[in-house]
Amino acid sequence: MPSALVFFTELSDAPSKAQRELLTLAASIGEPTVAVASEVPEAAVTQLGAYGVSKLLVAPANESSFLDHSLSALEAAVNQSAAQVVVVANDNFSREVAARIAVRVDGSIVTDAIDISADLVVTKDELAGSYSAQAQASGGVLFVTLKPNSIEDTPQAQAVSVSVEELAVSAATAPSVRIMATEEKVASDRPKLTEARVVVAGGRGVNGDFSAVEALADALGGAVGASRAATDAGWISHDAQIGQTGVTVSPQLFISAGISGAIQQKAGMQTSKCIIAINKDVDAPVFEIADFGIVGDLDKVLPQAAEEIRRRQA
Amino acid sequence: MTEENTAPLKIVVLVKHVPDVQFDRHIDSASLRLDRSESVLSELDEYAVEAAVALVESQGGFAAGHEVIAATMGAKSASNSIKKALQMGASSGVHLNDEALIGSDTVVTSKALAALVEHVGDVDLVVTGMSSTDAETSVVPAQLAERLNFAQLTHALNVDFDGATRELSIRRDHADRTLTLAAALPAVLSVTDQANDPRYPNFKAIMAAKKKSITEVSLADLGLAAQAVGAAGSHITVLNAEARPAREAGTIINDSGQAGIALVDFLAEQKLI
């Protein structure tokens, strides 16, 4: 049975959905070890046990500069765990940390994975999800970054007890990158865009007003996304951008409101399980990939749908 | 100011020749390689070229002796992407073209590109786009920083350079924060599509580019063995690649006043609410 290591930069009391997917995947490969590059709260340790994690390696944060601590922590964890496969989240930071350590230990890395089999064959998306490919590593430690919404989050039938060890982390070796300032983003009560089960996204057609998109997202307990046209216009934060240069989403339900569906936009959402499109232009390319399409006025359709959902849920 | 601080900047901007995302892209079912016949300069690399050229312009321009060298690895046709970078203002090009590179994974790609940067020599800054639009891994800039032992300033939302201290600072998103990061040169910088607006070359720039040189280099020039790169040198092997079935359009209705209700009916049918 291969040994799997899961690496997190941070772990809060309740692991996020994407983190639980990583734990589920690791447990399906072999007895997983988890390494975290910061302090881990007691509640999170219990959660790890529920996913079959028997060993936790902790490298308390020492973030004097950007990246260094995470690099040193992952390198130490790879050496100490002797894992054959290391799984991390698919965000830019986790990818970069894994990719650098893959170079350091002469391993390899596969990004955008959606599954790893017990014999370490990685299934991944290619060309923005228009292809599915399988790849294998011939030697060295294999690092894999997993797309959210790929694995059914499943705790183990029986929880295990977790032994916690502190990682011996060597001093940073990379040239220093200093953190000069930190701006916290405005916290949202909505689910995280990349992890949400439901995403409602608005584009040029919302004409500067996202309130109807937000109201429908809230009725469905979903996240709010946007096309690049909408973020470039300054109608909504750039963080909401879905597409080739924004985030990629793969929710159960994607509602596209007033987005034409140009190829760069489709790249960010075409692996959604169900796509609903609302657009006033019957020729909008998004209708070619929609499971259900409405040619109509957003200002009428979105509030009516939100109202109907609230009525049925009442 | 020390002597070193006034030395001209030597910048390498990495460009990649990729299949045009505006067309259907294909992976060959036999070779499992991407069909690269309709290729262009990766549009995300235009932001990298713009960032490099704009940085030089902010420091006295090319007349001050600064250089922007557009570098690529790829087949013969990849020189077209260098030409586009030259039209956008890069001063010269260097093209690593060797059949043995085919099938390189990111670990090996970064090895070859790091050797190419070292071959150029005395490089202060490597600039890249945030990701290629074909493989979309976006990890090679970080791997280059690792291999070259340069500071890693990646996914920049904006770029500031202080000519006196030769310090580069960027803003980047990280978890629920936006960080301002700073490092001294040498550095690897990757820029997002938020960082600038790439220029369109005018006729004069296009004509000027024709006079700029592109140097071809081989693996042997870099001191790399053929079996250390490409499929032979890579740990990763692609086993298969299949096009996902195209999504089919479902029911499309015209709103005649009740479409919002129809939408909810559809959600209920699909057990999505």
Helix pair angle (A298-313, A211-219), 10° resolution? 20
**What is the average pLDDT score of chain B?**
95
Residue-range domain boundaries for chain A? 4-166, 198-313
Task: Residue A263: list chain B partners with CB under 8 A.
Answer: 21-22
Average pLDDT rounded to a whole number, residues A37-53: 95
**B33, B39, B40, B107: which to substitute to probe chain A, counting the most A Cβ within 10 Å?**
B107
pLDDT at B2: 44
Q: Do A135 and B184 touch (CB under 8 A)?
A: no
**What is the average pLDDT score of chain A?**
94
Bridge partners (DSSP) listed for residue B84:
none
Residues B138, B105 contacting (CB under 8 angstroms)? no
Q: Do B139 and A95 touch (CB under 8 A)?
A: yes
State the complex-level ipTM.
Answer: 0.94
- Could you tell me if residue A203 is left (phi over 0), alpha (psi between -120 and 50 degrees) or otherwise beta? beta
User: CA of B183: which chain A residue's CA is closest?
Assistant: A177
The structure tokens 């034409």 sit at A260
pLDDT exceeds 50 at position A214? yes
**Distance from the B172 Cα atom to the nearest Cα atom in chain A, whole angstroms:** 10
pLDDT at B246: 86
CA dihedral sign of residues A32, A33, A37, A41: positive
Distance CA A208, CA A15 (A): 35
**Distance from the B161 Cα atom to the nearest Cα atom in chain A, whole angstroms:** 14
**B146, B169, B190, B234: which to substitute to probe chain A, counting the most A Cβ within 10 Å?**
B146
User: CA of B189: which chain A residue's CA is closest?
Assistant: A177
Residues B50, B193 contacting (CB under 8 angstroms)? no
pLDDT at B143: 98
pLDDT at B248: 86
Q: Do B181 and A178 touch (CB under 8 A)?
A: yes
Distance CA A224, CA B61 (A): 43
Architecture of domain A4-166 in this structure: 3-Layer(aba) Sandwich (3.40)
CATH fold group of domain A198-313: Rossmann fold (3.40.50)
Task: Residue A92: list chain B partners with CB under 8 A.
Answer: 138, 154-155, 173
pLDDT, tens only, B59-102: 999 999 999 999 999 999 999 999 999 999 999 999 999 999 99
Q: Domains in chain B, ordered, with CATH?
A: 3-233 (3.40.50.620)
Neighbour count for residue A128 (Cβ, 10 Å):
23
Confidence bin at A142 (pLDDT 50/70/90): very high
Average pLDDT rounded to a whole number, residues A124-139: 93
pLDDT at A313: 92
Average pLDDT rounded to a whole number, residues A268-277: 95
pLDDT cut 70: percent of chain B above it: 98
pLDDT exceeds 90 at position A175? no
Distance CA B200, CA B194 (A): 17
pLDDT at B132: 92
Confidence bin at A64 (pLDDT 50/70/90): low
Confidence bin at B1 (pLDDT 50/70/90): very low
Q: Do A289 and B249 touch (CB under 8 A)?
A: yes
- Per 3-state DSSP, chain B is made up of helix, strand and coil in percentages (nearest 5) of 35, 30, 40
pLDDT at B22: 83
Q: Which residues of A155-167 are buried (b: 16+ CB within 10 A; e: fewer)?
A: eeeeebebeeeeb
Could you write out the DSSP letters of every residue in B172-210?
A: EEETTEEEEEEEESSEEEEE-TTS--PPPP-HHHHHHHT
Decide whether A4-166 matches A198-313 in CATH topology: yes
pLDDT top residue among B36 and A305: A305
Residues B108, B233 contacting (CB under 8 angstroms)? yes
pLDDT exceeds 90 at position A32? yes
